[in-house]
């Protein structure tokens, strides 16, 4: 009998693990030459800790990229689900988001091995660059539910591509929009905050009927809580490094960051806690 070319065991689809042929290597697959050539120091003479500063922030941006990938997929799974069969996938992706967000908080410990004196060796070279300008971080906030169109006006250093990305995020549904769609798909009212709060409270007290919906509500709240943990950890780190000095991008530094500590993606889910 002829081999099925679609079969995993057919000669056409067989992949030999090992270095025979060398069609793809670890370095070429991960684009390591380009990746490892992306850390360029601005200080002269080179400040020892500038490499650490660049590396940790590049790692953050890679994690932001992954978070956007997972959050958008979780949102789309909820929006496209009408029978409940895809809610497990959305919850699974949000659990991954939680693990990554804990990693973001823990990575601050690495950055804090740099002393304020060591940071000041090259800090002046950073201006006017600032973490305030992280477009991916703003995208993540927008998709999570905290849309802020004013950001596009406050920061004028955006490229055309970055402007387009942020405007797209402002126009597309958020995780909260997707959760409201899930409530409605399960016959639960969700036309205003009061209805949503009542519906979520119902899922909390009838988990046998609404287990998947309640689990999603909890996953969103966890995402919100971990984002708050990141903001709180970040502001303390900034104060430890530069005190009350202004940010390199012109912001008020820690004062601006402290002003965002009260941000909540899903205030209705927090308010429901008082009704359980």
pTM, rounded to two decimals: 0.87
Is residue 75 one of the residues assigned to a domain? yes
Q: What is the predicted pLDDT for the residue at 126?
A: 82
Highest mean pLDDT among 72-76, 155-159, 238-242: 72-76
Question: pLDDT class for 171, splitting at 50, 70, 90?
Answer: very high
Domain that residue 205 falls in: 48-131+174-242+252-275
Q: In the prediction, which pLDDT does 12 show?
A: 57
CA distance 183 to 127: 46
Q: What pLDDT shows up at residue 212?
A: 94
Q: Which two tokens stand for residue 97?
A: 């988001």
pLDDT in tens, 83-99: 677 899 999 999 999 99
Query: What local confidence, expressed as pLDDT, does residue 27 receive?
Result: 95
Residue-wise pLDDT for 218-245, tens only, equals 999 999 999 999 999 988 888 888 886 6
CB 12 within 8 A of CB 6: no
Angle at 76 between CA 84 and CA 230, to 5 degrees: 105
Cis peptide before 128 (omega within 30 of 0): yes
Cα–Cα distance list, 33 to 37, 38, 120 (Å): 6, 9, 30
pLDDT at 90: 96
Average pLDDT, rounded, for the chain: 88
* 234: in domain: yes
Q: Does residue 79 sit within a domain? A: yes
Q: Answer whether residue 168 is part of any domain.
A: no
Token digits of residue 154: 């406050």
As for how many domains the chain has, the answer is: 1
In a domain, 204, yes or no: yes
Inside any domain, residue 229: yes
Whole-angstrom Cα distance, residue 261 to residue 263? 6
Cα–Cα distance between 199 and 180 in angstroms, integer?
10
Domain of residue 220, CATH code: 1.20.58.480
For residue 22, tell me if it sits in a domain: no
Phi, psi of 50 (to 5 degrees): -65, -35
Q: Is the pLDDT of residue 60 over 70?
A: yes
């Amino acid at each position: 009998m002829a081999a099925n070319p679609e079969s995993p065991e057919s000669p056409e689809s067989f992949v030999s693990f090992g270095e025979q042929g060398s069609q793809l290597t670890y370095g070429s697959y991960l684009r390591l030459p380009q990746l490892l050539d992306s850390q360029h120091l601005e200080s002269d003479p080179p400040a020892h800790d500038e490499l650490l500063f660049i590396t940790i922030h590049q790692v953050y941006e890679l994690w932001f990229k992954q978070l956007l990938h997972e959050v958008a997929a979780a949102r789309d799974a909820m929006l496209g689900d009408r029978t409940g069969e895809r809610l497990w996938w959305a919850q699974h992706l949000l659990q991954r988001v939680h693990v990554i967000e804990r990693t973001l908080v823990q990575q601050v410990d690495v950055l804090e091995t740099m002393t304020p004196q060591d940071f000041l060796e090259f800090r002046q070279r950073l201006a006017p660059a600032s973490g305030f300008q992280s477009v991916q971080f703003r995208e993540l906030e927008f998709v999570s539910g905290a849309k802020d169109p004013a950001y596009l006006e406050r920061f004028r250093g955006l490229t055309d591509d970055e402007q387009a990305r942020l405007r797209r995020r402002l126009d597309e549904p958020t995780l909260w929009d997707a959760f409201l769609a899930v409530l409605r798909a399960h016959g639960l009212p969700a036309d205003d905050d009061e209805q949503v709060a009542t519906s979520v409270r119902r899922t909390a007290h009838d988990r046998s009927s609404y287990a998947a919906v309640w689990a999603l509500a909890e996953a969103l709240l966890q995402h919100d809580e971990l984002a708050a943990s990141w903001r709180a950890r970040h502001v303390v780190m900034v104060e430890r490094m530069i005190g009350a000095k202004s940010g390199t991008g012109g912001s008020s530094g820690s004062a601006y960051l402290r002003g965002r500590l009260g941000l909540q993606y899903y205030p209705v889910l927090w308010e429901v806690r008082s009704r359980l």
